[in-house]
């Protein structure tokens, strides 16, 4: 069990963030940044968390009901189309791309101001991709068999997946994107884990931070490898933004439905996704 810091008594309840005034010392900034992790969460935070958790449980209950009853509960009345679920999927993929754009592309373009928001941008990417991955899963008729979309050896003689299906490539694309984004996010956090490790008193918390920081010692060598890796990952993530959304758009564009069947979809979707608002209501 994680024990909170001994300093975390009532007097050390999380104070509202202090805007940096003047030219504070680096140690002060580190203190300020790390303070939420040292302290117990405040009432406001608890209230927000409770509200979010309540909303989440409503969502979870709905999804549970849907999985237990059948996806007819979506209420879809244009049965041949996808509906809110896939629209939402596209929406979340778009949100995720906005995060990658901030963190990766701005890194490649050496925009210094990105550092102030890149952690939250990357986290947004991760959670957006998780949300995005959730929707294709729960829009399936039999989500408990979703693992069938992965090619794995089986006793069916062997029965593989359909490599012609855009949906399959969608799965691959989302998975790749998720992996790269996770790695990118995690690599960026290593020095910070090290800072937390150094601040943490001995105990479980320290052990966890020690493992998470992968032996970071702040030397030039680690910093230089860190920079290189970050650049490489940014370079990998940027084309993925293009490929993922192209593939997502192909889910629609390869169908022969009037209105969907158009080659403009991949290029058309990318700029729109980059604004993170790339959602059109598709019935």
Partner 1 sequence: MRASVLLIAAVVAVTSAGLVARTLARVGVHQGYAPEQPIAFSHKLHAGDSKVPCLYCHSSARTSRHAGIPSVNVCMNCHSMLTKQTVDIERLKEAVQRRQPIVWTKVHNLPDFVYFNHSQHVGANVACQSCHGPVETMARVRQEAPLTMGWCLDCHRTRGAELQRSRMAWAHADPNAPLPVTDCGKCHY
Partner 2 sequence: MNAELRFWKSVEELRSDAGAEREVARDCFAGQRAQTGPPPPVSRRDFLTLAGFGLAAAAAACSRGSVQKAIPMLNQPEQMTPGVASYYATTCGGCGAGCALLVKTRDGRPIKIEGNAESAVFGGATCAAGQATVLSLYDDARLKGPLLRGQPAAWADVDAHVSARIAAAAAARKRVVLLSRTILGPATRRLVREWSSRPGFEHVTRDAVSYAALRDATRASFGVDAIPHYRFGGASVIVGIEADFLGAWLSPVEFTREYAGRRRPESGALMSRHVQFESGLSLTGSNADIRVPIAPSEQGLVALALLHRIARRHGGIEVPEVDESSLDAGALDKAADDLWRARGASLVVCGAHDEATQTLVHAINTHLGNIGRTVDLDNVSLQKQGDDAAFARLVEDMADRRVDVLILYGVNPAYDAPDADRFVAAMERVPLTVSFADRLDETAARADVVCPDHHFLEAWGDAEPIARVCSLAQPTIAPLFDTRAAQESLLAWQGRTPDFYEYLRAYWRETLFPAQDRYDTFDEFWDRSLHDGVFARSPRPASEHRFDGDCARAAAGVVREHAQAIADARGGYHLHLYEPVGVRDGTHANNPWLQELPDPVSKVTWGNYAAIAPALASRLALADGDVVAVEAGGHRVELPVLVQPGQSAQTISIALGYGRTRAGRVAEGIGVNAYPLAQSIGGRRRYARAGVGLTRTGRRDPLAATQTHHSMEGREIVKQTTLASFLESPPPGAEAHADMPNLWAEHPRGEHNWGMAIDLTSCTGCSACVTACQAENNVPVVGRDEVRRGREMHWIRIDRYYAGSEDAPETLVQPMMCQHCGHAPCEPVCPVLATVHSSDGLNQQVYNRCVGTRYCENNCPYKVRRFNWFEYARNDRFDFNMNSPLGEMVLNPDVTVRSRGVMEKCSLCVQRIQAGKLEATREGRAIADGDIQTACQQVCPADAIVFGDLADPSSRVSRLSRQQRRYRVLEELGTRPNVTYLAKVRNA
Site of interaction with partner 2 (CB under 8 A): 69-72, 75-82, 136, 139-143, 145-146, 148-149, 159-162, 164-168, 171, 251, 254-257
CA dist., res. 269 & res. 261, Å (int): 14
Q: Which does 154 bind (CB under 5 to 8 A by kind): partner 1, partner 2, none?
A: partner 1
The yes or no reply on residue 228 touching partner 1 (CB under 8 A) is no
As to burial, measured by CB atoms within 10 angstroms (0-12 exposed, 13-18 middle, 19+ buried), residue 208 is: middle
Kindly state the smallest distance separating residue 154's Cβ from partner 1, in Å: 7
Residues 136-155 binding partner 1 (CB under 8 A) are: 154-155
Residue closer to partner 1 (CB basis): 46 or 159? 159
Residue among 154 and 228 whose Cβ is closer to partner 1: 154
Q: Would you count residue 158 as binding partner 1 (CB under 8 A)?
A: yes
Selected binder of partner 1 within 22, 157, 258, 259 (CB under 8 A)? 157
Number of residues that this document lists for the chain: 283
When CB distances are held under 5 to 8 angstroms depending on the partner's kind, the choice from partner 1, partner 2, none that residue 70 binds is partner 2
Closest distance of CB 169 from partner 2, Å: 9
Q: What is the 3-state secondary structure (H, E, C) of 145-197?
A: HHHHHCCCCCCCCCCCCCCCCHHHHHHHHHHHHHHHHHHHHHHHHHHHHHHHH
- Other residues' Cβ atoms within 10 Å of the Cβ of residue 123: 16
Least Å distance, CB 204 to partner 2, is: 41
Q: Compute the distance between CA of residue 209 and CA of residue 195 in angstroms, rounded to an integer.
A: 9
**Residue 211 engages partner 1 in binding (rule: CB under 8 A):** no
Q: Which stretch binds partner 1 (CB under 8 A): 32-40, 74-82, 116-124, 156-164?
A: 156-164
Q: Which helix (H) or strand (E) holds 128?
A: helix 118-138
Q: Does 263 bind partner 1 (CB under 8 A)?
A: no
What is the Cα–Cα distance from 178 to 24, expressed in whole angstroms? 37
- The torsion region of residue 218 among left (phi > 0), alpha (psi -120 to 50) and beta comes to left
The contact set with partner 1 (CB under 8 A) reads 154-159
């Amino acid at each position: 069990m994680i024990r909170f810091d001994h300093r975390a008594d009532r007097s050390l309840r999380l104070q509202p963030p202090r805007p940096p005034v003047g030219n504070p010392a680096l140690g002060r900034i580190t203190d300020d940044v790390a303070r939420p992790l040292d302290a117990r969460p405040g009432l406001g935070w608890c209230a927000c968390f409770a509200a979010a958790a309540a909303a989440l449980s409503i969502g979870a209950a709905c999804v549970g009901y849907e999985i237990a009853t059948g996806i007819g509960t979506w209420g879809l009345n244009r049965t041949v189309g996808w509906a809110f679920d896939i629209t939402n999927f596209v929406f979340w993929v778009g949100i995720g791309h906005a995060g990658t754009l901030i963190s990766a592309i701005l890194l490649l373009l050496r925009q210094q101001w990105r550092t102030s928001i890149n952690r939250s941008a990357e986290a947004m990417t991760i959670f957006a991709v998780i949300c995005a991955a959730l929707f294709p899963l729960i829009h399936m008729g039999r989500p408990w068999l979703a693992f069938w979309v992965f090619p794995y050896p089986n006793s069916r003689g062997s029965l593989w997946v359909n490599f012609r299906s855009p949906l399959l490539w969608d799965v691959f694309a989302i998975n790749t994107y998720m992996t790269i984004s996770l790695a990118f996010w995690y690599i960026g956090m290593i020095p910070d884990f090290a800072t937390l490790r150094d601040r943490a008193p001995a105990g479980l918390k320290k052990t966890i931070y020690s493992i998470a920081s992968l032996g970071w010692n702040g030397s030039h060598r680690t910093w230089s490898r860190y920079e290189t890796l970050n650049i490489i990952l940014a370079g990998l993530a940027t084309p993925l933004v293009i490929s993922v959304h192209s593939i997502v758009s192909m889910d629609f564009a390869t169908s022969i439905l009037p209105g969907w069947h158009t080659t403009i979809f991949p290029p058309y979707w990318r700029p729109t996704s980059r604004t993170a608002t790339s959602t059109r209501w598709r019935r």
